[in-house]
């Protein structure tokens, strides 16, 4: 029987990613990648940036937990070979070939955004067109780092499964009580400690901090080994109110005491309070959805099918429209936020619906089979 709460929590989290990027794009807290805010902090506090502080500690770890749970269920129905082939098509194809077919357009705007933020062009004058195209394609990775890391973690999972062929460790994890489940947050914190505090210039350090593969391996494997157990899901569901309450308290204290700092920096993410908030939010939301949202309907069914594609295309709307409004208009900030929010929620599904109806494009960009079902 399909667990609709997992589907619902996944697509709701994807929608929150879209909302996050609206505020991230115009943030003035030093978070890498946006075009910049409407003044310098603290003279211009931009309190709307609080959305980033609320969402960032938990929404991507939660998606990796759900991916780990789903991987366990899929591997109960498919052989490891079949599962990995489907994961490669769904994850690696969009994360590589899709860059050169579609995401290069995102990269074009990303380089324009970076040039605007830096005050000078990031690509030297006179660069040949094919070099620009390659640079745009790589720069267009954007949010697709998620599926690239997820594909790598699928390889890790196959190796780990080979070490636990008889499911002894998996079965042991299923006996975890609510105290043990909460204490697993120590692993969440340990994962954050793998980030490099002082990345060396001209080294892979910055890229490792951006992708965080060792950190995201933790929630992914916890999803597979721990949270795929129905008994564990029931325990979290019974405790969803105190878990969410603890997350709200921890998050409130965290935001009040740290607002204004770069909330994506290793120093920020490695704070115990940030890890407590992120972990309790993951547990509380899983418990809440397992207890209250294990149903589906027409809209939920559509979002379950389409949220992955919406995630893949949404940043083009953010980067292009967000850049053009900031660069070429004199709109007040509140208007830019409203227009960008409405646009990303309206145009991303439309863009997905158009692209996934084109056989070759749907395979390259979304990893979907050539023929539309």
Digit-coded pLDDT (tens) for 174-214? 999 999 999 999 999 999 999 999 999 889 999 999 999 99
Structural domain total, the chain: 1
Q: Are 142 and 319 in contact, with CB atoms under 8 Å apart?
A: yes
Closest by CA to 188, choosing from 100, 64, 94, 90, is: 64
Assess if residue 60 is contained within a domain.
Answer: yes
Task: Decide: 121 and 112 in contact? Cβ < 8 Å.
Answer: no
- End-to-end Cα distance, the chain: 22
Nearest-angstrom CA–CA distance, 154 and 365: 20
CA distance 115 to 117: 5
Output the pLDDT for position 373. Answer: 43
Could you tell me the CA-to-CA distances from 243 to 20, 66, 258, 269, 322 in Å, in that order? 23, 18, 22, 20, 36
Helix axes 80-87, 59-75, angle to 10 degrees: 140
Strand partners, 261: 259
* Nearest one of 66, 153, 142, 61 to 106, comparing CA atoms: 142
350 occurs within a structural domain: yes
- Give the C-alpha separation, 222 to 112, whole Å: 39
Please check whether residue 63 is in contact with residue 130, taking contact to mean a CB–CB distance below 8 angstroms. no
At 243 the pLDDT is 98
Domain that holds residue 75: 4-366
Is residue 165, in this structure, part of any structural domain at all? yes
In a domain, 373, yes or no: no
Residue 151 included in any domain: yes
Considering only CA atoms, give the Rg of the chain.
21
Alpha-carbon dihedral of residues 159, 222, 19, 14, nearest 10 degrees?
60
Q: Which residue has the tokens 């060792």?
A: 214
Structure tokens at 280: 């309790």
Q: In sequence order, which residues have a C-beta less than 8 Å from that of residue 80 and are 6 or more positions away?
A: 158, 161
Distance CA 9, CA 63 (A): 9
Token readout for 193 is 């400690």
Low-confidence ranges of the chain (pLDDT < 70): 370-373
**Calpha distance 138→136 (Å, rounded):** 6
Confirm if 264 and 31 have CB atoms less than 8 A apart: yes
Burial of 289 (0-12, 13-18, 19+ CB in 10 A): buried
CA nearest 144: which of 319, 308, 317, 321?
308
The CB density around residue 139, as the number of other CB atoms within 10 Å, is 22
Q: Does residue 222 fall inside a structural domain?
A: yes
Structural domain contains residue 143: yes
pLDDT one-digit tens code per residue, 345-363: 999 999 999 999 999 999 9
CA 370 from chain center: how many Å?
Answer: 26
Q: How far from chain centre, in Å, is Cα 42?
A: 28
Kindly state the helix (H) or strand (E) to which residue 149 belongs, with its residue range: helix 145-163
Other CB atoms within a 10 A radius of the CB of residue 294 amount to 17
Task: Let me know if residue 177 belongs to a domain.
Answer: yes
């Amino acid at each position: 029987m399909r667990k609709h709460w997992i589907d619902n929590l996944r697509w709701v989290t994807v929608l929150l990613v879209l909302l996050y990027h609206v505020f991230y794009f115009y943030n003035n807290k030093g978070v890498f990648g946006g075009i910049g805010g409407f003044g310098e902090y603290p003279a211009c506090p931009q309190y709307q940036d609080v959305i980033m502080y609320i969402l960032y500690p938990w929404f991507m770890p939660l998606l990796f937990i759900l991916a780990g749970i789903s991987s366990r269920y899929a591997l109960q129905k498919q052989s490891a070979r079949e599962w990995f082939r489907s994961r490669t098509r769904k994850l690696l194809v969009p994360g590589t070939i899709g860059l050169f077919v579609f995401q290069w357009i995102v990269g074009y705007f990303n380089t324009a955004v970076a040039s605007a933020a830096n005050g000078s062009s990031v690509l030297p004058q006179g660069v040949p067109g094919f070099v620009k195209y390659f640079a745009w394609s790589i720069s267009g990775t954007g949010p697709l780092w998620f599926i690239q890391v997820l594909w790598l973690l699928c390889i890790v999972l196959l190796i780990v499964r080979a070490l636990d062929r008889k499911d002894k460790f998996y079965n042991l994890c299923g006996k975890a009580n609510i105290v043990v489940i909460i204490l697993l947050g120590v692993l969440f914190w340990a994962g954050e400690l793998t980030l490099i505090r002082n990345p060396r210039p001209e080294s892979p350090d910055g890229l490792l901090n951006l992708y965080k593969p060792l950190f995201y391996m933790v929630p992914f494997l916890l999803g597979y080994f721990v949270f795929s157990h129905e008994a564990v899901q029931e325990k979290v569901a019974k405790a969803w109110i105190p878990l969410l309450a603890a997350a709200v308290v921890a998050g409130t204290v965290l935001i009040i005491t740290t607002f204004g700092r770069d909330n994506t920096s290793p120093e920020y993410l490695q704070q115990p309070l940030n890890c407590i908030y992120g972990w309790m939010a993951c547990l509380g939301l899983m418990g809440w959805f397992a207890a209250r949202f294990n149903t589906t309907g027409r809209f939920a069914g559509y979002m379950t099918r389409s949220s992955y594609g919406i995630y893949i295309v949404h940043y083009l709307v953010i980067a292009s429209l967000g850049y053009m409004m900031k660069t070429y208009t004199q709109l007040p900030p509140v208007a830019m936020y409203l227009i960008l929010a409405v646009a990303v929620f309206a145009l991303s599904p439309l863009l997905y619906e158009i692209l996934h109806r084109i056989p070759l494009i749907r395979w390259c960009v979304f990893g979907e089979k050539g023929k539309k079902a």
